[in-house]
Structure 1
């Protein structure tokens, strides 16, 4: 699990997204969703700290603000559902969201940069991403699907995603804590995975600055489809056992 946390950190440091979903899928192999999702959100927030300063310079204020407002509206609903839905069914939800999201990421082509970006559909896109993030740490695909069609330059797209997920993870954790779904068990597991996740994140940032030859979007999409398919199969096997 240490290696997987480090790998998820590399992906996040390089692309600005993907950490939460990848780590959640890995943790679900050995932990129930009620443990895996809060731990993922906490590590996602901590590992993004080193990205905040650079992201703040390129964050698109209008689109980013609308995305965050939509997310803030969705998080309470997601936190409530996470505390109420049985873990066996939540694993299916996680797998299904990740499978659909990974497929859409692969199919969605980036749109050319647009000079006048109005932020149309940013509010509902933020709501969907926030709900998926709080329910299954799967906010990456819906957010990136919107951003890839927004016309934002790559540097602003990455920065907007970083700020969005930092706010989203923090707000979701507050909601889980308020619902009594976050405690010492989550902190202990997060402490075990923190150092490899941070190391991977720093390595990913270094790659982002020095190497741009890898089609990371396609790689993440393939990985999400394969892993989410595996999660769905194992979850269905447990339900039928």
Structure 2
């Protein structure tokens, strides 16, 4: 039953990423946090997110990347990616679950801003967010929409947001996973757990991508906004429930 429920969560999250270009880790962490221990769920989410990022970048186009923003994100985000697993390892499961749901709720709320304030696109804000989100993503597999909001506030065009995020997410995920593996933080049955969920994610991703290619920009923004509202509500509800 645990595997079935985990598979359903991963399928929905992968479908969502196929449609939006982001949000797999956000949704997967939200669903898996109540099914698996954080130390087990996070590396599973990271490795699946790496594969989905590869699928997004398979038709890579340099012109569709904001390289200035990408260099800022990578310079500071990779430092955070190394720290994340150690931060998570130092906390107990209950604290991690509460912190994860808080990060999910905040990230979802920020991402709902259609026009983030201009001050949010400043270099210093980007550097702080890149490092902080690097810690959150590699340690808890959440926080990505905060970076999306920074890109939009800084004027990155919608068509470049998807690929810029994919490069940053992919680099942080890979470094975070390598750090966990090198430090012996992977669960003993990791391969057996991740393989069936990875297959499910890959199968679910492609219908989402097909939907994305058929959507207008206006419809895409509405779908993202409505979905993130629901994610934020669920994240707050889970945080309150865990704190009781």
TM, length-normalised to structure 2: 0.87
- Contact kept in structure 2, 1:133 and 1:139, CA below 8 Å: yes
Shift of 1:48: 1.9
Matching residue of 1:63 = 69
Select 1:35's aligned residue among 40, 43, 53.
Answer: 40
What per-residue deviation string (whole Å, max 9, x for no partner) do you get for residues 155-174 of structure 1?
Answer: 10111011111111111101
Deviates more, 1:155-164 or 1:215-224: 215-224
Shift of 1:53: 2.9
Secondary structure of the structure 2 residue equivalent to 1:145: helix
Structure 2 unaligned regions, length at least 5:
none
- Contact kept in structure 1, 2:40 and 2:187, CA below 8 Å: no
Secondary structure of the structure 2 residue equivalent to 1:196: helix
Is 1:49 aligned to 2:92, yes or no?
Answer: no
Select 1:204's aligned residue among 208, 227, 231.
Answer: 208
What per-residue deviation string (whole Å, max 9, x for no partner) do you get for residues 36-84 of structure 1?
Answer: 1111111111122111133443122221011011111111221111111
Instruction: Measure, in 1, the Cα distance between the counterparts of 2:193 and 2:227.
Output: 25
Shift of 1:226: 2.3
Cα distance change on mapping 1:194 and 1:96 into 2, 3 Å: same
Matching residue of 2:25 = 20
Instruction: Measure, in 1, the Cα distance between the counterparts of 2:165 and 2:60.
Output: 9
Shift of 1:223: 2.5
TM, length-normalised to structure 1: 0.88
Matching residue of 1:106 = 112
- Contact kept in structure 2, 1:128 and 1:142, CA below 8 Å: no
Is 1:220 aligned to 2:227, yes or no?
Answer: yes
Deviates more, 1:51-60 or 1:69-78: 51-60
What per-residue deviation string (whole Å, max 9, x for no partner) do you get for residues 163-220 of structure 1?
Answer: 1111111111011112211144232221121122112211121112111324133123
CA RMSD of aligned residues (A): 2.1
Matched ranges for 1:115-194 at <5 A:
121-194=125-198
Structure 1 unaligned regions, length at least 5:
none
